[in-house]
A = this chain, B = another copy of it.
Amino acid sequence: MLKYSRQRESIKNFLMERCDHPTAETVYQGLREKYPNISLGTVYRNLSLLTELGEIQTISTGAGPDRFDGNAMPHYHFVCKQCGAVLDLKMQSLEHINLLAQHEFSGEIESHSVFFYGKCEECVKGEKSS
């Protein structure tokens, strides 16, 4: 049975207030302002729990630590190869690629994850000016 906890509520609020996609460490540092004694383990445990509950998303980009997204609605992410920023992309759902994958495959395709890589606007500008 799930019980309320202020820490969990604060973790979720922290994520929802931000449009970047912080790491567990960043969440931890942010929460320490309100709860100086909060432990990193509590942050990880609640991030996992919130992910299981479908209230947030865990983002494994394949490089560096996992990141967390307070927006649980399905959407896609961009990862900047230069600065590491993770940004939301405004784009349609790619559901049709599941059918392409299923076509010659004998198992059952249920879902997909997609990451786009390149340079973010900031890093593109930075190159031109230097």
Contacts and interface: CB of A to CB of B under 8 A. Distances in A.
Most buried by B among A91, A115, A116, A124: A116
B113 A101 contact: no
B101 A116 contact: yes
B113 A109 contact: no
A14 interface: no
A91 B103 contact: yes
Q: Is the interface of A mostly helix, strand, loop or mixed?
A: mixed
A80 interface: yes
B107 A124 contact: yes
Q: How large is the interface on A (under 10, 10 to 19, 20 to 34, 35 or more residues)?
A: 35 or more
A5 interface: no
Given A78-B101, A94-B97, A97-B94, A110 B119 contact: yes
A120 interface: yes
Interface of A: 60, 62-63, 76, 78, 80-81, 87, 89-92, 94, 97-98, 100-101, 103-121, 123-124
24 contacts: A60-B60, A60-B63, A62-B62, A76-B101, A78-B105, A87-B107, A90-B104, A90-B105, A91-B100, A91-B101, A94-B100, A97-B97, A106-B121, A107-B119, A107-B121, A107-B124, A110-B119, A111-B116, A111-B118, A112-B114, A112-B115, A113-B115, A113-B117, A114-B114
